[in-house]
Amino acid sequence: MKSLIDILDFSVEEVNELLDTADDIIANPDKYAECCKRKKLATLFFEPSTRTRLSFEAAMIELGGSVIGFSDAQNSSSSKGESVSDTAKVISCYADIIAMRHPKEGAPLVAAQAASIPVINAGDGGHNHPTQTLADLLTIRREKGKLDNFTIGFCGDLKFGRTVHSLINALARYENVRIVLISPDELKLPSYVKTDVLEKKGITYVQTTDLEVVMPELDVLYMTRVQKERFFNEEDYLRLKDSYILTPQKLTAAKPDLCILHPLPRVNEISVAIDDDPRACYFKQVLCAKYVRMALILKLLKEAGKIV
């Protein structure tokens, strides 16, 4: 049973096909309006979410399907001690596909191994967030017209930012993507991504603490929030939370066609004064996420033999 737990579960060709399908859905939404009639998506969210859960739900509804699920683990039987495996087996009796977010790294993989329906990782702890990556790739491709030969800066919490880890894994498979890592020393990219992905694949990267110095080089700037929920003590969070705040003044040296992304939610990392700048693409990114999740639901349900 094909699931999506890690972006590397899909080949580059499969990812490109998904992006093509998403582009086609954007151009021809009516064509897809009944594709998932009588099919059910279960959204099992053991951690808070606005975008991921609601965009999955909107995606399934726009495909003609329906949605069941929970958005608070306290309202599910996990609060009574039920395991992720048992939950996945039970939901397989009710739904056709699962989207799961969980604070524990690896929980969606455990669910996929137990379920008899496809499982989508909607974010597992500080580990991965492959559907955000699909949204990021679609946004970059629509804004830049390509996924190769460009420089992307990742700025903020690169240690706990799962969207950064997934996107770096994905971009490492395209030609000549140069990576600039901008973070405080305490929030540097973990070695399992730096050594095992960037260095192993010979990807050009630099590390810095200074956003303004590298700003003129960037084609894409991926801002991130400092992940409060992953810190062990509040003092460290308070000290690091405002390490980078993007303001119009800091953009003066940026390229005129810079593409500014942020997986959201935003706290302080991007001044609202930037929202009307044509280079601000983070709300377009939100919309791209819904369309690429529609494409993903279609692909996994087709491969499971649940739709034609």
Give the interface segment with ligand CP, choosing from 175-183, 196-204, 212-220, 261-269 (CB under 6 A): 261-269
Q: Which residues are known catalytic residues? A: 51-52, 80, 101, 129
Q: Is 216 in the site for ligand CP (CB under 6 A)?
A: no
Strand order, beta sheet including 97-102: 66-70, 40-45, 97-102, 119-124
Q: Is 248 in the site for ligand CP (CB under 6 A)?
A: no
Q: What number of helices (H) and strands (E) belong to the chain?
A: 10, 9
Which of residues 182 and 289 has its CB atom nearest to ligand CP in the complex? Answer: 289
What DSSP state is assigned to residue 241?
A: T
Q: Nearest approach, Cβ of 158 to ligand CP (angstroms)?
A: 16
Give the interface segment with ligand CP, choosing from 79-87, 151-159, 192-200, 258-266 (CB under 6 A): 258-266
Separation in Å, CA 15 to CA 120, 173, 220: 15, 11, 20
Query: For residue 185, how many other CB atoms are within 10 A of its CB?
Result: 8
| CA atoms of 171 and 186, how far apart (whole Å) | 24
Q: Is 285 in the site for ligand CP (CB under 6 A)?
A: no
Return the H-helix or E-strand segment holding 70: strand 66-70
Q: Is 132 in the site for ligand CP (CB under 6 A)?
A: yes
Q: Is 229 in the site for ligand CP (CB under 6 A)?
A: no
Q: Nearest approach, Cβ of 263 to ligand CP (angstroms)?
A: 4
Return the H-helix or E-strand segment holding 92: helix 84-92
Q: Which of 116, 113, 96, 111 is nearest to 45 (CA)?
A: 111
Contact 173, 146 (CB under 8 A): no
Touching ligand CP, residues 262-281 (CB under 6 A): 263-265
Q: Is 111 in the site for ligand CP (CB under 6 A)?
A: no
Q: Nearest approach, Cβ of 290 to ligand CP (angstroms)?
A: 12
The correct pick among 21, 43, 52, 151 for binding ligand CP (CB under 6 A) is 52
Return the H-helix or E-strand segment holding 167: helix 162-171
Give the interface segment with ligand CP, choosing from 11-19, 142-150, 259-267, 274-282 (CB under 6 A): 259-267
Q: Nearest approach, Cβ of 52 to ligand CP (angstroms)?
A: 3
Q: Is 195 in the site for ligand CP (CB under 6 A)?
A: no
Q: Is 51 in the site for ligand CP (CB under 6 A)?
A: yes
User: Backbone phi, then psi, for 81, in 5-degree steps?
Assistant: 105, 5
The correct pick among 11, 12, 34, 50 for binding ligand CP (CB under 6 A) is 50
Q: Which of 98, 90, 88, 85 is nearest to 39 (CA)?
A: 98
Q: What share of the chain is helix, strand, coil (3-state, %, to 5)?
A: 45, 15, 35
The correct pick among 3, 49, 128, 169 for binding ligand CP (CB under 6 A) is 49
Q: Nearest approach, Cβ of 264 to ligand CP (angstroms)?
A: 5
Q: Is 29 in the site for ligand CP (CB under 6 A)?
A: no
Give the interface segment with ligand CP, choosing from 46-54, 87-95, 164-172, 270-278 (CB under 6 A): 46-54
Q: Nearest approach, Cβ of 261 to ligand CP (angstroms)?
A: 11
| CA atoms of 36 and 171, how far apart (whole Å) | 31
Q: Would you tell me which residues interact with ligand CP (CB under 6 A)?
A: 49-52, 123, 132, 263-265
